[in-house]
Amino acid sequence: MTAGGADARLRARDLGLAPGIFRPGALNAITDVAGLRVGHVTLIEGEGTRTGVTAILPHPGNPFADRVPAGLSVMNGFGKLAGATQLAELGEIETPIVLTNTLAVGRAVEALVDWTLARNPEAVSVNAVVGETNDGRLNDIRARGVTREHVLAALDGAAGGPVAEGSVGAGTGTVAFGFKGGIGTASRLLPPPLGGWTLGALVQANYGGALTMDGIPVGRELSRWYLKEHTDRGDADGSVMVVIATDAPLSDRNLSRLAARAMAGLARTGAAFSDGSGDYAIAFATHPGVRRTAERRAHQAIIADWPNDRMSPLFVAAAEAVEEAVLNAMTMATTITGRDGRTGRRAKVEALDLAALRAVLARHGR
């Protein structure tokens, strides 16, 4: 395994990339949403295992008892998002969200069920939400290196504060736009006249197209993009998982609308949304006034609901945060050498060269 890159890795804003109009939160991370926690387990073992787990806990309490409203959006559905149909049907999530690789979904579901049952002795049904992307270009995915213990460690180690990005957790073996992909995060703050809400996004970037960074055609300028010379180089297929969190008091219906705006953020990065890509976004709200507590689920209750005609600023914030989260995943990722899970051969994917990126940005006046 190669740590990757002679240059120290930097976030997008440190390189002069600052997409959008709203300012980020203090951490420019999904954890700017108060109480939200993120945990990673990164697996780099032997010559072939290059994978991991990322867990997102919506609030400090018991997510099964105090459920959060949620919405789902799917652009291209080539994926294995466990729990998706019940999430869409009921408009809520009752477990943390776990991200991992495609063939680890089953084990992650089992671990998440165990974690939930241990905290809820009355539970007899658990809708575990587990998303995935296929990291088989760098990870010996058939070896199934992710275990129950790894998932539990990510859950139990979740914390607030800065979020590790790049080739970590569920982003350890991912590839995006032909470069090393990974985990990225960003946030946006709405000004008080627009509600003063915080919105954060986290992405597991493993998809492709023609990389665009804050409107600059980086992929084309670095001569690496999908359909270059009319040939599919394999830089389009893949998947992306997006998780959006906000402290605004949103209904599940408006959270589904919010999740759909993640696709605008992905489109700005040059996503191809190809036939073999799974493009999923989950959005949830942590506001105490919309949490579905046991008492509220048992009785008719008045639930706070941000009005439709004030949603547009949140839509803008979601697209911006998702776009910047992808940029952070790309600029923070490190070069990884592993083993292709399909061929068994040694494989290496280079991280985006920041020196070359700086040159491209300079040509565009950044």
Residue 228 Cα distances to 175, 248, 350, angstroms: 17, 42, 18
Domains of the chain: 12-361 (3.60.70.12)
The string of pLDDT tens digits covering residues 107-149 is 999 999 999 999 999 999 999 999 999 999 999 999 999 999 9
pLDDT at 260: 98
190 within 8 A of 199, measured Cβ to Cβ: yes
Model confidence pLDDT, tens digit, residues 196-244: 999 999 999 999 999 999 999 999 899 776 655 433 444 557 899 999 9
Average pLDDT, the chain: 94
304 compared with 52, residue with greater pLDDT: 52
Residues known to be catalytic: 239, 277, 279
Q: What is the pLDDT of residues 241-260, one digit of tens each?
A: 999 999 999 999 999 999 99
Whether residue 38 contacts residue 30, with contact meaning beta carbons closer than 8 Å, is answered with yes
Task: Spell out the alpha helix ranges (H) of the chain.
Answer: 84-90, 105-119, 148-156, 218-221, 252-260, 262-268, 294-298, 312-332, 354-363
Kindly list the distances between the CA atom of residue 68 and the CA atoms of 159, 252, 356, in Å, as whole numbers in the listed order. 19, 9, 43
What is the reported pLDDT for 227? 56
- This prediction has a pTM of 0.95
85-99, 301-315, 325-339: range with lowest mean pLDDT: 301-315
Does the pLDDT value for residue 78 go beyond 70?
Answer: yes
pLDDT of residue 188: 98
Sign of CA dihedral 282, 287, 290, 295: positive
Nearest to 181, CA basis, from 315, 334, 64 = 334
Q: Closest Cα partner for 82 from 147, 130, 23?
A: 130
